[in-house]
Amino acid sequence: HKDKEHVHIHVMISSNEMMGQKRVRLSKKDFSNIQKELEQYVSAAYPQLGNTKHYQKEKSLEKSKNKEQLQELLKELFERSNSKDSFKNHMATVGIEFYTRGSTVGVIFKGKKYRLKTLGLLADYEKMVVKLEQKQQEKTESKEKNNQTFNQEKDESKKSDSKVNSNEESTKIKSRREEMRKLREQQEHKAQSKEKK
């Protein structure tokens, strides 16, 4: 049809086999190939329509470089991160932002979204998550152990102080008894001296 600025051609493909009832399943890859082949045919057979390359666009070199750069950055990020905080700090430094949509995990880099699965890095990411969770668990356990040790030492210190205080009291009591005994002996000695006189 020619009601637009340039000629439009639409191709309709039936989902059934030719002259049959059976449906044909077409994968995205197969459909993409059909689009590319049809575009090539139209360009070759009807050059007067203009040589368009809508379906045969080559991936831009810039996009490819960005993807490679991102893959390297993420690999290094996953290996070097020792905590969730260090992971977030590294991400901010290199300009990567994570996102999740349902079970899909991806990143935004230079304004474009990339799925980790598509980048071939989902396994590396999951490995890092497990590593960070283990480190967090170890840190928590270590903190709890330190608290227990501190509390035990505190209890032992209290017991020791209590024992020292108890020993000091016992020593004071013995000392007073001894003083009292000596005082009685002195009084008895004075009393005997008076009787003799």
Return the DSSP state at 120.
T
Find the mean pLDDT for residues 95-121: 88
Find the mean pLDDT for residues 129-153: 84
What is the C-alpha separation between 68 and 62, in angstroms, rounded?
10
What number of residues does the chain have? 197
39 and 67 in a single domain? The answer is: no
Number of independent structural domains in the chain: 2
> Last residue of some domain: 141, 157, 190?
141
Domain that holds residue 30: 25-56
Q: Is the pLDDT of residue 60 over 60?
A: no
> Last residue of some domain: 120, 141, 162?
141
The reply to whether 154 falls in a domain is no
Give the range among 8-17, 98-107, 118-127, 176-185 with minimum mean pLDDT. Answer: 8-17
pLDDT at 161: 65
49 and 119 in a single domain? The answer is: no
> CB–CB of 107/154 below 8 Å?
no
Query: Does residue 117 sit in helix, strand or coil?
Result: helix
Give the range among 30-39, 48-57, 69-78, 140-149 with minimum mean pLDDT. Answer: 48-57
Most confident of 47-51, 83-87, 127-131: 127-131
75 and 34 in a single domain? The answer is: no
The reply to whether 185 falls in a domain is no
Find the mean pLDDT for residues 66-88: 86
The reply to whether 76 falls in a domain is yes
42 and 103 in a single domain? The answer is: no
pLDDT at 63: 65
The reply to whether 89 falls in a domain is yes
The reply to whether 108 falls in a domain is yes
> Last residue of some domain: 122, 141, 160?
141
* Closest CA relative to residue 105, chosen from 134, 81, 125, 128: 125
CA distances from 149 to 15, 139, 142, 144, 157 (A): 72, 15, 10, 9, 12
Element (H, E) at 132: helix 122-196
pLDDT at 173: 85
Residue 114 exposed, middle or buried by CB count within 10 Å (0-12, 13-18, 19+): buried
The reply to whether 43 falls in a domain is yes
84 and 133 in a single domain? The answer is: yes
* Closest CA relative to residue 119, chosen from 134, 90, 102, 98: 98
Q: How many CA atoms lie within 13 A of 13 on its CB side?
A: 10
Find the mean pLDDT for residues 21-49: 84
46 and 90 in a single domain? The answer is: no
Residue 168's pLDDT band (cuts 50, 70, 90): confident
Q: Is the pLDDT of residue 27 over 70?
A: yes
Query: Does residue 46 sit in helix, strand or coil?
Result: coil
78 and 117 in a single domain? The answer is: yes
pLDDT at 101: 87
57 backbone φψ class: left, alpha, beta (φ>0; ψ -120 to 50): beta
89 and 113 in a single domain? The answer is: yes
122 and 103 in a single domain? The answer is: yes
The reply to whether 106 falls in a domain is yes
The reply to whether 87 falls in a domain is yes
Q: Nearest-5° angle of CA 113, CA 118, CA 114?
A: 10
Q: Is the pLDDT of residue 155 over 80?
A: no
